[in-house]
Structure 1
Amino acid sequence: MTDKPCKVCNFTRQKSYGVVALSIDELKEKGRQCLGFNSSDSVTVVLENDGTVVEDQAYFLCLPSNTKFMLLNDKETWSPPCRIDGGTAWMARDSVLLETDTVDSSSTVAPWYELAQQLKQDLTSIILMSEADLQTLVDAPCPELASALGFQEKKAQELQETLQRVLDRREQERQSKELLQLYLKTVEQENRQQEETSQPSQGGAGDVDVPDGMEVDSASGFMSRTLMVLKGKTSPETRLSTGDLQMVVARGVEAMEQVLGWDRARTSALLQACKAELTARLQQIQAVQSIRSNTQLRGSQQSSEKRKEEEGAEKPAQGGK
């Protein structure tokens, strides 16, 4: 293992230092010295940008060089930097705001720029990025991204296309999982109905729960994630759920023009793609149902033949008596 260059700051972000550490314990020790903590103070190390607690040595080693950490004592908590009244302020201990005369330059930097700097330092850091981070890089202006990475614009465009394919593949995997879960749920419901034929079915089959963390846009009626996917760069129809596709198709071209703010030609092309994708998925569901029906029919026929064979075997035995 080699020493890793890092940055450390206190919870107000007023003090920031560069250190070199071989382990998370060494980072704590050097951070205490730089930030004026006592050597006996118990400190927690978190990522400065999102507050993720870093305690595992393996995770520490996976982080890219020059990652910025924040050291917190027992009474301090992480909070994001906030702009207030033209200056910079941070939520501090006991809800006290500490104001400074200088503006934190990081608050004016586009989110994709910091991600691009991470990639520039260590390209393998991309495996630690969330889907939201990947989408931020995909949506970044290609010429500016190329400049930040030190790439040619064509290479930056290829990187964005690759990231988009990764996002599309993950979305397709999720949709396949949802389809399988839907099939298993249908089988379970049918089996329950067969076992409890005397009881009326209960429960709102048409009710749809909004996933945690998803907000519905009151103006359009779509979830915020759905709108983000619709406005994506590559094949948004493949990344929508079947319910979302049905909703888009049902709205029609004119309504979707207003929702997306696009022209008629672009909106029509999107709806045609959504209709084609919806048709393909419905065909998949019908195929699965057909396979299941054929399987049940064969099982019923085999059971009937087996009963006939058993009855035929019983009759000669009874005649012998």
Structure 2
Amino acid sequence: MTEVKPCKVCNFTRQKSYGLVVPSLEQLKIKGCESLGFSPDAPVSVVLEDDGTIVEDEAYFLCLPTNTKFMLLHEKETWSAVRRIDGGTAWMTRESMVLEADAVDTASGTEPWQILAQQLKQDLASIILMSEAELQALVDIPCPELASALGFQEKKAEQLQETLQRVLDRREEERQSKDLLQLYLKAVEREDTQEMEPSLPSQEGAGDVDMPDGMEVDSASGFMTRTLMVLKGKTSPETRLSTEELQMVVSRGVETMEQVLGWDRERTSGLLRACEAELTRRLQQVQAMHSLSSHTQLDGNQQSNEKSAEDSQDAPATGSK
């Protein structure tokens, strides 16, 4: 008789978890999909819930201890660590943050934003724990649909989306401030700095974009998924892109960006004009900061030279006495 193994399975949100007894890895996938409400035809991968280790080898599966918890992932789903909270927000780890199994239907057809909406319905403070991708997903949902999912009036749902947008904007402002400071420091370090001009980026600039955790590069467009998400956002996407991202967008040109975004020429041209204006504004800020630094250094050298000249003029007079 084949030995069976007690274990547990959950989906990528960890909001549904079931205990199973299976004889093999393949049976874990089959029974796990049934329990979690996945389509039987949908391909799934198995990872360890605690650290995301991919489990593909049958022998490795059989060597794992009993009651090991596995996570079943669809093709576009990825493992992420459990959010840890400490300090003044430790109260948010209470059990009420974990939705009951019947509160969220994660069966096939349920959109990820609906799960996020249920989290907000349980506790609005969970906003501070959401990633930028999750916040953007809730901002992009039509207001009536979000209001229906939350049980809010449309006006209240609209105010919530405005709050989520402000959180996104604040995070982007912090990133831009850091980005601007780095550009300024690089300019100061160059001994023969020439006047910077809003030129098109080189290939090196396009390759130096920092990739946030959990964000992949879209193979078709060459853009990070976060960049594409921001570009298709509702309000002033150019203000929420980093300088490197703006340079990359501008360098692609209207025709390429039409294909990337799937927009018409007029809408794409408007976006590129806004990106060019924002890029010029930021580079002018860097120039102003560098010019101020140069003037400050020049004034200091001039004062030092004048002091030396005064000292040299006073020296003979003192000797004649």
What band does the TM-score fall into relative to the shorter chain? Answer: 0.5 to 0.7
Q: Are 2:18 and 1:14 aligned?
A: yes
1:32 alignment counterpart: none
User: Which whole-Å CA distance do the structure 2 matches of 1:255 and 1:296 have between them?
Assistant: 44
User: Which whole-Å CA distance do the structure 2 matches of 1:56 and 1:165 have between them?
Assistant: 24
Structure 1 residue identity aligned to 2:257: M
Structure 2 residue identity aligned to 1:127: I
* Larger relative contact order, structure 1 or 2 (CA cutoff 8 Å, min sep 6): 2
SS in 2 for 1:289: helix
Structure-to-structure mapping, 1:72-151, within 5 angstroms: 105-106=106-107, 108-151=109-152
C-alpha change, 1:105 and 1:229, in structure 2 (3 Å) is: closer
Deviations 1:236-293 (A, max 9, x none): 1001122222232232222211111001221121112112212211221221122112
Cα drift, residue 308 of structure 1: 0.8
2:154 alignment counterpart: 153
Structure 2 residue identity aligned to 1:148: A
- Give the TM-score, by structure 2 length: 0.64
Contact 1:64 1:121 in 2 (8 A): no
Q: Are 2:187 and 1:223 aligned?
A: no
Cα drift, residue 65 of structure 1: 4.9
1:68 alignment counterpart: 98
1:305 alignment counterpart: 306
Structure 1 residue identity aligned to 2:187: T
2:210 alignment counterpart: 211
User: Which whole-Å CA distance do the structure 1 matches of 2:264 and 2:85 have between them?
Assistant: 51
User: Which whole-Å CA distance do the structure 2 matches of 1:51 and 1:177 have between them?
Assistant: 26
C-alpha change, 1:257 and 1:183, in structure 2 (3 Å) is: same
1:251 alignment counterpart: 252
User: Which whole-Å CA distance do the structure 1 matches of 2:258 and 2:8 have between them?
Assistant: 48
User: Which whole-Å CA distance do the structure 2 matches of 1:10 and 1:159 have between them?
Assistant: 36
Cα drift, residue 316 of structure 1: 2.1
Unmatched tracts of structure 1, length 5 or more: 1-8, 17-42, 70-103, 195-203
C-alpha change, 1:135 and 1:252, in structure 2 (3 Å) is: same
2:319 alignment counterpart: 318
User: Which whole-Å CA distance do the structure 2 matches of 1:53 and 1:244 have between them?
Assistant: 28
User: Which whole-Å CA distance do the structure 1 matches of 2:271 and 2:94 have between them?
Assistant: 39
Cα drift, residue 295 of structure 1: 0.7
Contact 1:242 1:278 in 2 (8 A): yes
Calculate the aligned-residue CA RMSD, in Å: 3.7
User: Which whole-Å CA distance do the structure 1 matches of 2:272 and 2:179 have between them?
Assistant: 22
Structure 2 residue identity aligned to 1:137: L
User: Which whole-Å CA distance do the structure 1 matches of 2:218 and 2:258 have between them?
Assistant: 16
User: Which whole-Å CA distance do the structure 1 matches of 2:247 and 2:163 have between them?
Assistant: 28
SS in 2 for 1:14: strand
1:52 alignment counterpart: 82
Cα drift, residue 107 of structure 1: 5.5
**Percent of pairs identical after alignment?**
62
Contact 2:209 2:245 in 1 (8 A): no
Deviations 1:51-86 (A, max 9, x none): 4176969755213653339xxxxxxxxxxxxxxxxx
User: Which whole-Å CA distance do the structure 2 matches of 1:280 and 1:58 have between them?
Assistant: 39
C-alpha change, 1:217 and 1:11, in structure 2 (3 Å) is: closer
Q: Are 2:246 and 1:242 aligned?
A: no
Contact 1:112 1:137 in 2 (8 A): yes
1:183 alignment counterpart: 184
Cα drift, residue 10 of structure 1: 4.5
SS in 1 for 2:18: coil
Unmatched tracts of structure 2, length 5 or more: 1-6, 11-16, 21-66, 73-78, 100-104, 194-201
C-alpha change, 1:44 and 1:126, in structure 2 (3 Å) is: farther
Give the length in aligned residue pairs: 242
User: Which whole-Å CA distance do the structure 2 matches of 1:64 and 1:157 have between them?
Assistant: 28
SS in 2 for 1:66: helix
Contact 2:175 2:242 in 1 (8 A): no
Contact 1:245 1:278 in 2 (8 A): yes
Contact 1:230 1:236 in 2 (8 A): yes
